[in-house]
Structure 1
Amino acid sequence: MKLRESILTALLMAIGYVLHQVTPPIVAGMRPNFLLVMLFLSIFINPKPANALLAGFLGGVFAALSTTFPGGQIANIVDELITSQVIALLVRVTPNLNRQIAVPIFTLLGTMISGAIFLSVAMIVVGALPTAFSTLYTVVVLPTAAINTVVGAILYNLARTALRTVVKF
């Protein structure tokens, strides 16, 4: 992986961390994870496994540093590592799919997968969630997935336009 690609990934993840840090919790200390949008954006730009691993690791550590959810530290790291690899695989196996279609779909799916993994791991680590899994998934994960889908599509187009002048995109 080139240094330029690593720096871009780290920069996107740092921006995601700031967004994650300033987002208030919604239910039971759980907050929408806009860090995921930057994780997915990094993978859409560079879907190589090494980049997905770097982005997933950074995303997991950054989310763990700012989580207010019980057991969220371990859950964030596990969830972001797994989700990053799943999304990178989807991007790599669908190279001919129009990105204007793929980005929103993969962002929606990725956020839903991430939320399910996060809640499952947190439930295993802590023993019980502060509220029912279905409630947390419905009240936090699904609205976050909808928001991430819109934000992801907008940011992808902005990043694509900006990067066109710097590197072949």
Structure 2
Amino acid sequence: MNVKKMTLNAILIAIGALLHQITPALGLPMQPDFALAMMFIIIIINKDYKTTLISSIILGILTAITTKFPGGQLPNIIDKLLTANIIYFIFNLVGEKISDNIKILLALSLGTILSGLIFLGSASILVGLPGPFISLIVIVVIPAALMNILLGMILYKAITIALKITNIVVDK
């Protein structure tokens, strides 16, 4: 892994963790997960399993530290690790058949819903849930996915434009 790639990933992880920490719940019991959005962006930009694995572990730990869900520390780590692996392997299967713009849209929508299901499932087993599982999916996961799609696409476009302007190419 080269220095440029490590620096870019570290900056994206830091931005994701910072946004995760300072983002309010926006009137819902859950907030959009910028750390998750950044993880998907890292997966798409790098196309490298080792980077995916390391980023998911780091973001899992950072979101565990900053979680607003009571007892959500371990579910955050489980969620990031499993979601990153599933999304990476899906992208690996489709390869270059679909564009990165479609990949990020799929990751932000399906990946966020998958992440929410994994988080709620692991939280229900480990610490319990504050309401029925299906209700939390409808009230929390789906609105969070919609917010992640909108805000994550904006972040992705901003990052790709910045990478083009600065002539930063992430070597694969």
Q: Is residue 100 from structure 1 mapped to residue 101 from structure 2 by the alignment?
A: yes
Determine the C-alpha separation between the residues in 2 that align with 1:63 and 1:140: 17
Which digits, 9 at most, give the CA deviation of each residue in 1:63-91, with x for residues without a partner?
10011212210000011011111111122
Per-residue CA shift, 1:125-164, capped at 9, x if unaligned? Answer: 11x2111111221111111111111222222222222212
TM-score using structure 2 length: 0.89
Provide structure 1 residue ranges, at least 5 long, that are not aligned to the other structure: none
CA contact (8 A) 2:34 2:152 kept: no
Alignment of 1:27-106 (within 5 A): 27=29, 30-94=30-94, 95-106=96-107
Q: Does 1:166 align with 2:168?
A: yes
How far has the Cα of 1:47 moved from its partner? 2.0
State the shift of 1:7 in Å: 2.1
Judge conservation of contact 1:87–1:106 (CA < 8 Å) in 2.
yes
Q: Secondary structure at the match of 1:106?
A: helix
Q: Quick one: distance in 2 between partners of 1:97 and 1:3? A: 29
Alignment of 1:115 with 2:116, yes or no, is yes
The 1:131/1:166 distance shift into structure 2, 3 A limit, reads: same
Aligned residue for 2:141?
Answer: 141
Partner of 2:13: 13
> Structure 2 CA distance, aligned partners of 1:129 and 1:89?
29
CA distance in 2: counterparts of 1:83 and 1:52, whole angstroms? 10
What residue identity is the alignment partner of 1:163? L
Give 1:48's aligned amino acid.
D
Amino acid at match of 1:167: V
Do the aligned partners of 1:70 and 1:122 also contact (CA within 8 Å) in 2? no
Unpaired runs of 5+ residues, structure 2, are none
Does the 8 Å contact 2:117/2:137 carry over to 1?
yes
- TM-score by length of structure 1 reads 0.90
RMSD: 1.6
Cα drift, residue 168 of structure 1: 5.7
CA distance in 2, matches of 1:32, 1:157: 17
State the shift of 1:109 in Å: 0.7
Q: Deviations over 1:78-131 (max 9, x none)?
A: 1101111111112222222022222112210110000000011111111x2111
